[in-house]
Protein backbone atom coordinates (compact mmCIF):
# COMPACT_ATOMS: atom_id res chain seq x y z
CA UNK A 1 0.00 0.00 0.00
CA UNK A 2 0.99 3.64 -0.35
CA UNK A 3 1.26 4.01 3.41
CA UNK A 4 3.81 1.18 3.57
CA UNK A 5 5.88 2.89 0.85
CA UNK A 6 5.58 6.22 2.65
CA UNK A 7 6.65 4.72 5.98
CA UNK A 8 9.57 2.93 4.30
CA UNK A 9 10.86 6.17 2.80
CA UNK A 10 10.41 8.01 6.09
CA UNK A 11 12.53 5.34 7.76
CA UNK A 12 15.16 5.61 5.00
CA UNK A 13 15.35 9.38 5.46
CA UNK A 14 15.72 8.91 9.23
CA UNK A 15 18.53 6.36 8.79
CA UNK A 16 20.39 8.55 6.29
CA UNK A 17 20.08 11.60 8.54
CA UNK A 18 21.41 9.61 11.51
CA UNK A 19 24.29 8.28 9.40
CA UNK A 20 25.19 11.77 8.21
CA UNK A 21 25.40 12.98 11.80
CA UNK A 22 27.40 9.99 13.06
CA UNK A 23 29.69 10.04 10.01
CA UNK A 24 30.68 13.63 10.74
CA UNK A 25 31.41 12.84 14.38
CA UNK A 26 33.32 9.59 13.80
CA UNK A 27 35.62 10.64 10.97
CA UNK A 28 36.81 14.16 11.72
CA UNK A 29 40.46 13.18 11.18
CA UNK A 30 39.83 12.01 7.61
CA UNK A 31 38.39 15.27 6.29
CA UNK A 32 38.35 14.53 2.54
CA UNK A 33 36.86 11.07 2.95
CA UNK A 34 34.26 12.41 5.34
CA UNK A 35 33.24 15.21 2.99
CA UNK A 36 32.71 12.77 0.11
CA UNK A 37 30.73 10.32 2.21
CA UNK A 38 28.67 13.15 3.67
CA UNK A 39 27.97 14.51 0.20
CA UNK A 40 26.71 11.12 -1.02
CA UNK A 41 24.63 10.59 2.12
CA UNK A 42 23.11 14.06 1.81
CA UNK A 43 22.29 13.37 -1.84
CA UNK A 44 20.64 10.10 -0.81
CA UNK A 45 18.70 11.81 1.95
CA UNK A 46 17.58 14.60 -0.38
CA UNK A 47 16.52 12.14 -3.05
CA UNK A 48 14.60 10.11 -0.48
CA UNK A 49 12.77 13.19 0.80
CA UNK A 50 11.85 14.23 -2.74
CA UNK A 51 10.70 10.71 -3.57
CA UNK A 52 8.67 10.69 -0.37
CA UNK A 53 7.08 13.96 -1.50
CA UNK A 54 6.18 12.29 -4.80
CA UNK A 55 4.57 9.37 -2.96
CA UNK A 56 2.68 11.88 -0.81
CA UNK A 57 1.48 13.62 -3.99
CA UNK A 58 0.16 10.30 -5.29
CA UNK A 59 -1.63 9.68 -1.98
CA UNK A 60 -3.12 13.16 -2.09
CA UNK A 61 -4.30 12.70 -5.67
CA UNK A 62 -6.03 9.49 -4.64
CA UNK A 63 -7.64 11.28 -1.69
CA UNK A 64 -8.81 14.13 -3.93
CA UNK A 65 -10.33 11.68 -6.42
CA UNK A 66 -12.15 9.92 -3.56
CA UNK A 67 -13.24 13.18 -1.92
CA UNK A 68 -11.24 12.39 1.23
CA UNK A 69 -8.72 15.24 1.23
CA UNK A 70 -8.22 16.89 4.60
CA UNK A 71 -6.33 19.99 5.60
CA UNK A 72 -4.22 20.04 8.75
CA UNK A 73 -3.96 23.56 10.12
CA UNK A 74 -0.99 24.22 12.38
CA UNK A 75 1.25 27.11 13.32
CA UNK A 76 4.69 27.09 11.73
CA UNK A 77 7.55 29.42 10.99
CA UNK A 78 7.71 30.48 7.34
CA UNK A 79 11.51 31.04 7.38
CA UNK A 80 12.08 27.57 8.89
CA UNK A 81 9.90 25.95 6.24
CA UNK A 82 11.69 27.86 3.46
CA UNK A 83 15.07 26.87 4.97
CA UNK A 84 13.97 23.20 4.99
CA UNK A 85 13.19 23.40 1.29
CA UNK A 86 16.48 25.20 0.63
CA UNK A 87 18.47 22.53 2.48
CA UNK A 88 16.76 19.78 0.46
CA UNK A 89 18.08 21.27 -2.76
CA UNK A 90 21.49 22.47 -1.50
CA UNK A 91 23.50 19.47 -2.75
CA UNK A 92 21.72 19.38 -6.12
CA UNK A 93 22.34 23.09 -6.62
CA UNK A 94 25.98 22.67 -5.66
CA UNK A 95 26.40 19.79 -8.12
CA UNK A 96 24.79 21.81 -10.91
CA UNK A 97 26.71 24.95 -9.89
CA UNK A 98 23.48 26.86 -9.45
CA UNK A 99 22.80 29.32 -6.66
CA UNK A 100 19.52 29.01 -4.82
CA UNK A 101 19.07 32.28 -2.97
CA UNK A 102 16.49 32.79 -0.27
CA UNK A 103 15.36 36.25 0.76
CA UNK A 104 12.92 36.73 3.62
CA UNK A 105 11.74 40.01 5.01
CA UNK A 106 12.85 40.58 8.60
CA UNK A 107 9.22 40.73 9.71
CA UNK A 108 8.75 37.09 8.64
CA UNK A 109 11.44 35.87 11.05
CA UNK A 110 9.19 36.62 14.02
CA UNK A 111 5.95 35.52 12.43
CA UNK A 112 4.04 32.25 12.52
CA UNK A 113 1.15 31.42 10.25
CA UNK A 114 -1.61 28.88 10.63
CA UNK A 115 -2.25 26.81 7.55
CA UNK A 116 -1.34 23.38 6.20
CA UNK A 117 2.47 23.44 6.35
CA UNK A 118 2.77 20.26 4.29
CA UNK A 119 0.77 21.77 1.43
CA UNK A 120 2.89 24.93 1.47
CA UNK A 121 6.05 22.81 1.51
CA UNK A 122 4.75 20.75 -1.42
CA UNK A 123 4.14 23.92 -3.41
CA UNK A 124 7.63 25.25 -2.65
CA UNK A 125 9.22 21.90 -3.54
CA UNK A 126 7.41 21.92 -6.89
CA UNK A 127 8.39 25.52 -7.62
CA UNK A 128 12.06 24.92 -6.87
CA UNK A 129 12.27 21.53 -8.62
CA UNK A 130 10.61 22.94 -11.75
CA UNK A 131 12.89 25.96 -11.96
The helix (run of H) or strand (run of E) holding residue 119 is helix 117-129
* Per-residue pLDDT, 83: 87
* Per-residue pLDDT, 53: 78
What 8-state DSSP symbol labels residue 129?
Answer: H
Q: What are the pLDDT digits (tens) for 35-93?
A: 677 777 777 777 777 787 788 878 878 888 888 877 889 998 888 888 888 888 887 78
Q: Is the pLDDT of residue 2 over 70?
A: no
C-alpha distances (whole Å) from 123 to each of 80, 120, 126, 128, 129 are: 15, 5, 5, 9, 10
Between 72 and 20, the more confident residue is 72
CATH of 71-131, one of 3.40.50.2300, 3.30.565.10, 3.40.630.30, 3.40.50.720: 3.30.565.10
One-character DSSP codes across 23-88: HHHHTTTSHHHHHHHHHHHHHHHHHHHHHHHHHHHHHHHHHHHHT------EEEEHHHHHHHHHHH
Segment 113-130 mean pLDDT: 86
Domain ranges of the chain: 1-69, 71-131
pTM (two decimals): 0.58
Q: How confident is the model at residue 22 (pLDDT cuts 50, 70, 90)?
A: low
127 vs 130: CA distance, rounded Å: 5
* Per-residue pLDDT, 103: 83
* Per-residue pLDDT, 27: 55
* Residue 125: strand, helix, or coil: helix
Average pLDDT along the chain: 78
Q: Which residues pair with 113 in a beta bridge?
A: 76
Q: How many Cβ atoms are within 10 Å of 97's Cβ, its own excluded?
A: 6
Amino acid sequence: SYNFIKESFQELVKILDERIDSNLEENREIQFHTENISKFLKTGATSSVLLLALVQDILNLSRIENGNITTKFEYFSVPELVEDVHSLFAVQCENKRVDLLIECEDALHHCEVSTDANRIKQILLKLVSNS
